[in-house]
Amino acid sequence: MSSNLINEIDIVKASTSKISSVDFENLTFGNIFTDHMLMCDFKDGAWQKPVIKPYEPFMIDPSAKVFHYGQAIFEGMKAYKDEKDDVWMFRPDENFKRFNHSAKRLAMPEVTEDIFIGGLKAILDLEREWVKKGKGNTLYIRPFMIAIGSGVIAQPSTQYRFMIILSPARSYYSGEVKVIIAEHYSRAANGGIGAAKAAGNYSAQFYPTKLANERGFQQIIWTDDATHTKLEEAGTMNVFFRINDTLYTAPTGERILDGVTRKSLIDIAKRDGINVEIRSVLVTELIEAAKDGSLKEIFGAGTAAVVNPIVGFSYQDNYYELPKLENSYASQLKEKLTNIQYKLADDTFGWTVKV
Ligand code: COI
């Protein structure tokens, strides 16, 4: 099959829409999906013609590699509506690049820009009614790819399915977020798949996160697997620490996901005169800073969670509470980022892309 497949896309419209039954004010993250989905298969060494069709379950062989060997990757993105009813994506090129980085790491075929970016535009154009106006309203976009080739031999599939599904969303966390600093379990190791947005990176966290939940904590801050001394990433977000007036976040690399929200916040903070240091913060340093009062803030940053303040953390069974600040870096940065996303502020970075 040739390139520019998106020009040949088949669109099969749903006969009815479920939009009128959705309570957009009371959404639980990731539970409701729009009327359509995009599907594009890879077989015989090439991407086939994409189709947008009604959202529905589909059948794949029980021996498909995704079920047995976890060949599955995804992205998290959002669409926003401005006051003029235009729909916008935020840095889709970054998600496209990261998706293909993940694909390569899991021995999956890379998706063409035409299918990924063109596919996003096509499905968002069709579903624009699902993107509601007003800050806080978003349409969460989940592009993903799974190995659908059959056979339980442990080798990469020869057939794949790329899909885009869409879910109206407001906040990811509904209450306060308290975290535990990892002392035993690890999210990623050098040489592993930590920097890929691979499904397995998330399922591997479910058990330790469940243990944390049982103790009243919502998330874990992962530390480096070798020494558990360096603070790296929270389960669904990158993580920032403010000590005095400097903002710290760990460098991305083999173990840490290169978050789009993370890198955008760094650019906004630097532009606005906040001192940002990209370096690992040690657990000992954090405890010291919590004890002497120089630790002002910890917050997570991710597409789904946006900017999420962390109210306290636990380490070695001691709990440390963060101060409640007026005009925190977290609230300032969130405001500036979302103003760009909703076209309420000039996008001097050139991050927003119109659908
Ligand atoms: C996102 O922030 O979009 C993510 O992919 C995290 C996911 C666990 C919701």
162 and 183 inside one domain: no
Buried b or exposed e, range 290-328, using 16+ CB within 10 angstroms: beeeebbbbbbbbbbbbbbbbeebbbeeeebebeeeeeb
Q: Of 111, 139, 170, which residue constitutes the final position of a domain?
A: 170
- Decide if 246 contacts 275 (C-beta within 8 A): yes
Residue 304 CA, ligand 1 centroid: distance in Å = 5
What mean pLDDT is reported for the chain? 95
265 and 219 inside one domain: yes
Residue 352 lies in a domain: no
The pLDDT score that the predictor gives to residue 174 is: 77
Ligand 1 atom closest to the Cα of residue 172 is 9
123 and 46 inside one domain: yes
Residue 351 lies in a domain: no
232 and 261 inside one domain: yes
Neighbours of 137 (CB within 10 A): 19
262 and 306 inside one domain: yes
Kindly tell me if the per-residue pLDDT of 3 is higher than 80. Answer: no
- Decide if 321 contacts 179 (C-beta within 8 A): no
Q: Kindly report, residue by residue over 10-52, the tens digit of the pLDDT.
A: 999 999 999 999 999 999 999 999 999 999 999 999 999 999 9
- pTM, entire model: 0.95
Residue 68 lies in a domain: yes
Q: Of 151, 170, 189, which residue constitutes the final position of a domain?
A: 170
Task: Locate the DSSP E strands across the chain.
Answer: 10-11, 36-43, 46-47, 51-54, 72-74, 77-81, 87-90, 138-147, 160-169, 177-181, 219-223, 230-234, 237-243, 246-249, 275-278, 281-282, 295-302, 306-315, 318-321, 352-354
Residue nearest to atom 7 of ligand 1 (CA): 236
Q: Kindly report, residue by residue over 46-77, the tens digit of the pLDDT.
A: 999 999 999 999 999 999 999 999 999 999 99
Query: Residue 188 maps to which CATH number?
Result: 3.20.10.10
Ligand 1 atom closest to the Cα of residue 75 is 5
Residue nearest to atom 5 of ligand 1 (CA): 76
97 and 228 inside one domain: no
Residue 95 lies in a domain: yes
The set of residues, in sequence order, having a beta carbon less than 8 Å from that of 109 and lying 6+ positions away, is 42, 47, 103, 160
Ligand 1 site: residues with CB under 6 angstroms?
A: 76, 202, 236, 302-305
Residue 256's pLDDT band (cuts 50, 70, 90): very high
Residue 348 lies in a domain: no
Q: How many domains does the chain divide into?
A: 2
40 and 90 inside one domain: yes
107 and 223 inside one domain: no
Per mean pLDDT, which range of 2-6, 246-250, 283-287, 294-298 is the poorest?
A: 2-6
Q: Of 135, 170, 205, which residue constitutes the final position of a domain?
A: 170
Measured distance CA(8)–CA(126) in Å, rounded: 16
158 and 199 inside one domain: no
Residue nearest to atom 6 of ligand 1 (CA): 236
Q: Kindly report, residue by residue over 127-155, the tens digit of the pLDDT.
A: 999 999 999 999 999 999 999 999 999 99
Residue 252's pLDDT band (cuts 50, 70, 90): very high
Q: Domain of 210?
A: 177-341
207 and 334 inside one domain: yes
181 and 166 inside one domain: no
Q: Kindly report, residue by residue over 153-192, the tens digit of the pLDDT.
A: 999 999 999 999 999 999 888 788 999 999 999 999 999 9
Q: Report the residue among 89, 99, 236, 264 best suited for mutation to probe ligand 1: largest number of ligand atoms under 8 A from its CB.
A: 236
163 and 183 inside one domain: no
Query: Residue 65 maps to which CATH number?
Result: 3.30.470.10
